[in-house]
Amino acid sequence: MNPPTGVSVPPFDEIWSEVSDPARDISRSTSWMSKNSPIGCLLMVVMAVGLCLIIVGWLAIDDLAIALPALAVGLAAVGIPMAAGLRGLKRANQLHTSGVLGPIFTHIAQQMSATSAGGSTATLEVQYDPSGSIPSALLRSSGFIDNTRVPQRNLFHGRFGSTDFAMVEVKWEAAELPDQSALVDQTGSLLHFTADFHKFFTSRTHLFPKDNRRGALRELSDEAARSKGLEPLRLEDPTIERLFTCWTDDQLEARYLITPELMVALTDLVQALDSRAIAVSFTDDRLHLAVVSTTTIFGLDVNSPDARAAARRVYDNLVLFLSLTEHFDLNTRIWSKA
């Protein structure tokens, strides 16, 4: 997805010259971890055999002559590759953050700006915290997920023009692995973007995807929605109706918020991301957006053999999500919200 009209960003080739060496080094050092590499496949076989031996040892626990060797070999076959992999992943993730993600972010943050049709310029002021998180209350307010205690990574927060925003990777597949940072970084992500909306409102409106096969996002039954004071929202856009199940507690204000222009911007985003696993909510005077990915969004992907393509993915995602305030025209302040 290209940046919105009027948004200026540094070209990727200019940034690649700085991050190419660390990106290639990381790609080479983690190639054996890929699920498609010969070594990776061999280790998976060894670990599978180890699990089988553990099961055999457990079943034969009454015969120590069989059980003890089976358990010992099985635990070694599982534990040694896993420990080596976690150590390697932790180191590679640190190098990716400092050598690839950090420099790409710095270039974009220093040079991204937006010029309106009237000639005014909005500048980006943003900070990056690799281990940062947004408050659980803000996650809860969006209504996207039930468990707001899931691990979070890669917090970006600041202002673009007049609009304050924050975005963070929520590791929704890793709720039971909060301390295994290396493993957590390889699980699926939910990118949570939240920004000050450019209109005042007091209602609650939620758009949940009808295609929620990954199960990352909350699904509301009619009964659950009614218990929260919500009712179905019918919008005139057939594409929005096809993609989302819409709920609100104020039909009139919901239509004031979800304008035809915003619906076009939302469908454009769905097409650009090539994903229907997207949710939107309007609560507490803020716009919230969630995008579900089966892989990490900004982190290291050990299954990508092309270092340049992997760095380009990070660059494209940063440009896309950092420019969402412009994509949704949030710097056009409405009436008294200035």
Amino acid at 17: S
- Domain total of the chain: 1
Does the global pTM surpass 0.95? no
pLDDT digits (tens, 9 = 90+) for 84-106: 777 887 888 889 999 999 999 99
Q: Residue 202: its pLDDT value, please?
A: 93
Q: Residue 254: its pLDDT value, please?
A: 94
Q: Residue 257: its pLDDT value, please?
A: 93
Instruction: State the average pLDDT for the chain.
Output: 85
CB 248 within 8 A of CB 255: no
Whether 310 is covered by a domain: the verdict is yes
Measured distance CA(173)–CA(188) in Å, rounded? 6
Helix axes 64-96, 12-30, angle to 10 degrees: 160
Whether 305 is covered by a domain: the verdict is yes
pLDDT digits (tens, 9 = 90+) for 233-256: 988 889 999 999 999 999 999 999
Whether 298 is covered by a domain: the verdict is yes
Whether 228 is covered by a domain: the verdict is no
Measured distance CA(3)–CA(46) in Å, rounded? 46
Q: Residue 214: its pLDDT value, please?
A: 60
Q: Residue 215: its pLDDT value, please?
A: 64
Neighbouring C-beta atoms of residue 102, cutoff 10 Å: 15
Q: What is the mean pLDDT of residues 12-17?
A: 95
Q: Which domain holds residue 72?
A: 7-200+285-327
Torsions phi, psi of 26, nearest 5?
-65, -40
Angle at the Cα of 190 from the Cα atoms of 262 and 145, rounded to 5 degrees? 85
Q: Residue 65: its pLDDT value, please?
A: 86
Torsions phi, psi of 240, nearest 5?
-60, -40
Whether 151 is covered by a domain: the verdict is yes
